[in-house]
Amino acid sequence: MLAAAASLAAVVAVSPAPAAGAPQTARANLFGASLAPGTAGLTPQLAIAYTAAYRSARSAGIPMYINSGKRSRAEQAALWRQGIAEYGSAAAARRWVLPPDESTHVSGQAVDIGPQAGAGWLQANGIRWGLCRTFDNEWWHFELAAVPGTKCPPRLPDASRR
Ligand SMILES: [Zn+2]
């Protein structure tokens, strides 16, 4: 017991202490490994769930990446204006894009996944981490929507029905 305590003390003693005022360079990580690319700005729960799914997909040889995760209000506002111009009205645009106050991308609670093979894999397996496709018209859009290992809620036809 004493020997173990002494060893631990030795390990602690040789570990370099962070320099005062050192920049916070440590990237958030999960069990010692970096979070998946594209997860910056997501809620911690989504970043961790997606990272676990991403690693599982990668180890199964499935390509997967985040096309769009966290968006700023300004980015979402630009997409919203573009959507209104493209679809002709706010009502029509809402099927595909929501204003900043309503978008789950702005709140860090959604990821758009590519390529389609990766999204398909996530649709089939994401419930293991609580990740669910939420809209019929967007095969790429996923959110944490269920307790891991249970069942995803029924999909909504599109974002305007939320
Ligand atoms: Zn989306």
Q: pLDDT by residue (tens digit) across 133-142? A: 999 999 999 9
In a domain, 91, yes or no: yes
In a domain, 17, yes or no: no
In a domain, 39, yes or no: no
In a domain, 38, yes or no: no
| Contact (CB, 8 A) for 159 and 83 | no
In a domain, 23, yes or no: no
Could you please report the per-residue DSSP string of 95-125? TT---TTT-TTTTT--EEEESHHHHHHHHHH
In a domain, 116, yes or no: yes
List the CATH number of the domain containing 97: 3.30.1380.10
Find the 21 Cα to ligand 1 centroid distance in Å: 38
In a domain, 10, yes or no: no
Sign of CA dihedral 100, 101, 103, 107: positive
In a domain, 21, yes or no: no
Find the 26 Cα to ligand 1 centroid distance in Å: 28
Tell me which residue range forms the domain holding 70. 46-161
Backbone dihedral angles phi then psi of residue 131, each to the nearest 5 degrees: -90, 130
Find the 111 Cα to ligand 1 centroid distance in Å: 6
Find the 69 Cα to ligand 1 centroid distance in Å: 8
Find the 113 Cα to ligand 1 centroid distance in Å: 8
Q: pLDDT by residue (tens digit) across 61-107? A: 999 999 999 999 999 999 999 999 999 999 999 999 999 999 999 99
Inter-axis angle of helices 116-125 and 44-59, nearest 10: 110
Is the pLDDT at 118 greater than 50? The verdict is yes
pLDDT more than 70, % of the chain: 80
Residue-level pLDDT at 103: 97
Question: Structural domain tally of the chain?
Answer: 1
Find the 30 Cα to ligand 1 centroid distance in Å: 24
State the DSSP code for 18.
Answer: P
